[in-house]
Structure 1
């Protein structure tokens, strides 16, 4: 199985300012792990239309379990400008974790989502992610946290 987190699936200098533009951009980073990029993006948009994935405190975790995904992947994006996400706290988002999971993976996306959400409640961990400027450091933090 390939890695869930990988430095090549990170953009630490997002220029996007709107959530669907951001979802499309981050999805492009994992196009090699998708069967159909546009259809995967539509699945993420459909999930987003149910309720916002902007969980507050500058974090969004958009996700989709989709037939258009080849293997589970988490894409990390960071924005210094902030992204209008219509978050639960109405504040802009600075960190995005896009979760892509194949349809046949059972509840894998929920496990990943829960692990990330719980991890991000740890202020020290969240601060380390927010302050990290090196992709390798973020990858190490995420791997360590999700394997503990």
Structure 2
């Protein structure tokens, strides 16, 4: 898999989030340092993107993403929820694995490449199961970034 701008410190395992808004706010806080933008601005961009259509891709996975004015770098963050969060996924399943991507407005190609690579990786039932079974962020990171 293409190297992701992601480290274990950008992954939350089972935080106390109860709804989609709380998930997006938690992810925005993780993305803020890498982008140089405020968590509030990133959360608003992620929520605005969700308003256009759910980024849930099915099988309990969502890829919230946004292009951010003034972002200095591409950033990726992840959150796994202990319970499923309703997220308007096409299969109707609640989402437990969220991988968020924030990119500068000028990074359209990188944006699409990261989303495509993540979608391919997360299409694997084995990968999804391993992400759900990871007991800590380092294990989640290893599963998500393993190049097989």
Give the 3 Å change call, closer, same or farther, for CA 3–91 of structure 1 in structure 2.
Answer: closer
Work out whether residues 17 and 84 of structure 1, in 8 Å CA contact, stay in contact via their aligned partners in 2: no
Question: Does 2:63 align with 1:58?
Answer: no
Q: CA deviation at 1:114?
A: 0.6
Match of 1:22 in 2: 23
Match of 1:128 in 2: 130
- For 1:142 and 1:125, the matched residues in 2 are separated by 7
Match of 2:95 in 1: 93
Q: How do 1:23-42 residues align onto structure 2 when only pairs under 5 Å count? A: 23-33=24-34, 34-42=36-44
Q: How many residues align?
A: 145
- For 2:4 and 2:121, the matched residues in 1 are separated by 19
Give the 3 Å change call, closer, same or farther, for CA 61–52 of structure 1 in structure 2.
Answer: same
- For 1:90 and 1:122, the matched residues in 2 are separated by 19
Secondary structure of residue in 2 paired with 1:4: coil
Work out whether residues 47 and 63 of structure 1, in 8 Å CA contact, stay in contact via their aligned partners in 2: yes
Secondary structure of residue in 1 paired with 2:78: strand
State TM-score, norm by structure 1: 0.88
Gaps of 5+ in 2: none
Gaps of 5+ in 1: none
1:41-80, CA deviations, whole angstroms, 9 ceiling, x for partnerless residues?
Answer: 2211121111101111111110001114322121110111
* Superposition misfits of 4+ residues, deviation over 4 angstroms: none
Over the aligned positions, Cα root-mean-square deviation in angstroms equals: 1.8
Work out whether residues 87 and 95 of structure 2, in 8 Å CA contact, stay in contact via their aligned partners in 1: yes
Question: Does 2:113 align with 1:111?
Answer: yes
Q: CA deviation at 1:29?
A: 2.0
